[in-house]
Amino acid sequence: MSHDYQAIAARILENIGGAGNIRQAAHCLTRLRISLHDESKVNGDALRQMALVKGHFSNAGVFQIVIGAGDVDRVYAEMVKQGSVARATIADVKASGDAKQNRLQQLVKVFSDVFMPILPAIVIAGLLMGANNLLGAKGMFIEGQSLLDAYPGLSGLWGLINMMANTSFVFLPALVGWSAAKRFGGSEILGIVLGLLLVHPDLLNAWNYGKAAAGLDGASVPYFDLFGLRIEKVGYQGQILPILAAAWVMCRVELWLKPRVPNAVQLLVVPIVTIAVSGFLALAVIGPLARHLGIAVTDALVYVFNLAPWLGAALFGALYAPLVLTGMHHMFIAVDLQLIASQGGTFIWPMIALSNIAQGSAALAMFWLARNSNDKNMASTSAVSAFFGITEPAMFGVNLRHKLPFYAALAGSACAAVLIRLGHVKASAIGVGGLPAFISIIPQYIPLFLAGMLVALIVPFGLTWLLARRQLAAAAKEEAAQHA
């Protein structure tokens, strides 16, 4: 099907306040990404009426219009031509959007920028770990036995998958070091080196730190003795805050040195001094402080949820999707990883997965209720996306647009969260935050988590069907009366 891209671009420009309202504009595979001077000039209703536009939303100071692969670059080219808009990169648009954010939004943006590039590695590791958990879970498939007990020949496969799954978590500081250095403007290779330094095999493994600190089995915490200064010889496997803070310091040191060191010796001096200074500070000061801060934060979170589990779960289940709208949900990746490192599992991520499923269920109900092909197409594709962990199309393109489905999804998410929290459901790793999520749940909790999934599917679908059906019927009657 051919489209008049010239006319579409003209209408988009008209409905976003004209070319003069554009600060920066770029596009990705499916969306126009535009930093606007004044988003109040956007005519969202008019944009939604365009057949080629599948939805729009604003996130992190950037207005995004979902168009689709293949068409978006042609629309963008016409926009640039008609509006005399300078071509920009996605990074340029993001930077322009950052300038309009407050301090909290900028902090959240840092977490997003650091964790999003490494999220595929974490998710893949989580899925592999989940598969391994199923192999080793007693009573999951065979009464009183695990698959490994029943079929010893699987032990080699189990060991191989276990090594693959653990790699991303064991060397997580290296992944974060690379991504954080890139975000903070430093050398990415030095970020990797600093991250690997914090998990060096000569350091006491972080998983054994608690036993050594408590003196169990005769264990003790080893130290570096630097002229009387004792530095704990402890690693930071699976931990986030130490390397995040250390990478920021490393980048500040490197960026301070570069303009002050002559070019002739810069390659020799800058990397050595940067790693020596930041590595010492990471092991002596930053690491111990960040570790205890992370433990304190997770202990406080666990205490609050244990104090009133049903209330905490209900609030989290209801508020997680609104946090996604603001982009603040990225902070929970760090919380999940900290909980996994210190508590052996996270109770946050299972509730996140159910929230995603609830949004997909509400969008699926709207697919059955929609009366035109454009709405049906948007609802079906966004529902599938949400069922596999990407909820923005469902929320912005369908549920928020009709309001009641969004509220129905929040209600379903809250009910499901309460159910699994009262049952102390935990995930051993972060996986795909949707229907495949059960793979990453600790095996003994899988049955209760599946019950939570049913709640997250049935409640939003049922409420949307009951409430939105009446809303759409009333709107259709009103429209018919206007055309009578």
Catalytic residues: 28
- Please name the residue ranges forming H helices in 27-118: 44-48, 72-83, 90-98, 103-115
Distance, in Å, from the CA atom of 351 to the CA atom of 417, rounded to the nearest integer, reads: 5
At 308 the three-state DSSP class reads coil
Distance, in Å, from the CA atom of 212 to the CA atom of 219, rounded to the nearest integer, reads: 5
Distance, in Å, from the CA atom of 270 to the CA atom of 257, rounded to the nearest integer, reads: 6
Strand runs (DSSP E) across 114-260, as ranges? 223-226, 229-232
- How would you class 323 by CB atoms within 10 Å of its CB: exposed for 0-12, middle for 13-18, buried for 19 or more? middle
- Written as one letter, the residue type at 216 is L
Query: Which two three-digit tokens encode residue 21?
Result: 């309202």
Distance set, CA 447 to CA 147, 182, 358, 393, 442 (Å): 18, 41, 18, 29, 10
Q: Is the dihedral of CA 83, 85, 89, 94 positive or negative?
A: negative
CA end-to-end distance (rounded Å), the chain: 33
Please name which of 120, 121, 208, 128 lies closest in space to residue 163, comparing C-alpha atoms: 128
At 38 the three-state DSSP class reads coil
Please name which of 60, 7, 57, 61 lies closest in space to residue 30, comparing C-alpha atoms: 57
At 36 the three-state DSSP class reads strand
Query: Which two three-digit tokens encode residue 89?
Result: 């990169």
Query: Which two three-digit tokens encode residue 466?
Result: 């009951």
